[in-house]
Amino acid sequence: MRSMLLILDGSRQGQGSIQLAVRWARRFGARVSALGWVDEHALAAPEPAPIGGDAFKDRRDRSLLEQAHRRVDEALTRFSREAESAGIAFSAGTQVGERIAGLSAAAQPHDVVIISRDTHFTGPDEYETDGTWALLSGHCARPLVVVPPEIQAGTGNLIAYSGGMRAAHALQTLVANDLHQGVPNHVLSIHGSSMDIATDRARRGLEFLEAHGGQAFLLPVVTHEAVADVLIEHARRLGVELVVMGSHPRSWLTSYLIGSIPHEVLSQSGCPVFVTV
């Protein structure tokens, strides 16, 4: 890994993302580009207004925009202080515009994108979270690392490995970014009835990791429990730093609205989740 894009919306929930970016920059000698984004279109979106209501809306929109710029500036200042204290290479700046297309383009020069799970690009912290990671993942060419508001110390990776194309791609991308080096990698494969099938699938991932110098452990599981629950419980029990998984074939917007295994894990995990598209 050489370069990370850290996306900041200015909300309090972004502190975990800052901590992870600084931690990885020190570990890999990588550069962090912190990008504070203000989605003026979302904050001041056109909407029906009663007679005489336009003036109120204009005042409200100006207030929301001023708050958004102030929050982003404060977040970038917090990040810059931590980055300087850690002695890492970094840059920090603000951009304005529609966030999904803009962030997707901004991600392309980087190896990974780090974003908070609970973002508030559409309003203050007391607003509902806006699901930007779910929308972005359907358009971004780089892997996303989706981070909960607070992260605990952890070691190693829990890799959800089904043996399918998306799981194999996620594992290859993890290895390409050296995130498998120097830490334990637990290859988790789940099957409803056959330990032999679960073990065979997990072994494929293990062999790939070992071929690239990684320390890997088989973790075959036979269960009828929900896959997301099994992943989250094993991540907690093992105390890993990162959960690794591939995307889901259904659109990420649909997944965000009606659910999928990756969305359930991303929404509930107590540690960052590395997901490819």
Which domain CATH number covers 212?
3.40.50.620
Which of 147, 177, 212 is the C-terminal boundary of a domain? 147
CA–CA gap between residue 22 and residue 93 (Å, rounded): 16
Q: What is the pLDDT of residues 185-213, one digit of tens each?
A: 999 999 999 999 999 999 999 999 999 99
In a domain? residue 105: yes
Beta bridge partners of 185: 157, 216
Looking at residue 264, its pLDDT comes to 84
Residues 121 and 161 in one domain: no
Looking at residue 135, its pLDDT comes to 87
Which of 91, 119, 147 is the C-terminal boundary of a domain? 147
Residues 143 and 167 in one domain: no
Looking at residue 254, its pLDDT comes to 46
Give the domain extent around 250.
157-275
Average pLDDT over residues 172-193: 97
Residues 161 and 139 in one domain: no
Residues 93 and 203 in one domain: no
Looking at residue 43, its pLDDT comes to 84
In a domain? residue 152: no
Q: What is the pLDDT of residues 64-83, one digit of tens each?
A: 899 999 999 999 999 999 99
Residues 249 and 137 in one domain: no
Residues 187 and 108 in one domain: no
Instruction: Report the run of H or E that residue 188 belongs to, with start and end.
Output: strand 184-191
Q: What's the domain count of the chain?
A: 2
Report the first-to-last Cα separation within the chain, whole angstroms.
18
**Two tokens at 15?**
């502190």
- Residue 237 pLDDT more than 90? yes
CA–CA gap between residue 86 and residue 79 (Å, rounded): 10
Average pLDDT over residues 104-123: 94
Residue 124's pLDDT band, with cuts at 50, 70 and 90, is confident
CA–CA gap between residue 262 and residue 245 (Å, rounded): 7
- Residue 46 pLDDT more than 70? no
In a domain? residue 20: yes
Residues 230 and 168 in one domain: yes
CA–CA gap between residue 10 and residue 78 (Å, rounded): 10
In a domain? residue 35: yes
Average pLDDT over residues 89-98: 96
Which of 117, 147, 177 is the C-terminal boundary of a domain? 147
In a domain? residue 27: yes
Q: What is the pLDDT of residues 138-172, one digit of tens each?
A: 788 999 999 999 988 899 999 999 999 999 999 99
In a domain? residue 48: yes
More confident call, 234 vs 50 = 234
Residues 84 and 216 in one domain: no
Mean of all residue pLDDT scores within the chain: 90
Nearest Cα to 226, choosing from 250, 261, 252, 202?
261
- Residue 7 pLDDT more than 90? yes
Average pLDDT over residues 108-114: 97
For 206-272, strand residue ranges (E) read 215-222, 242-245
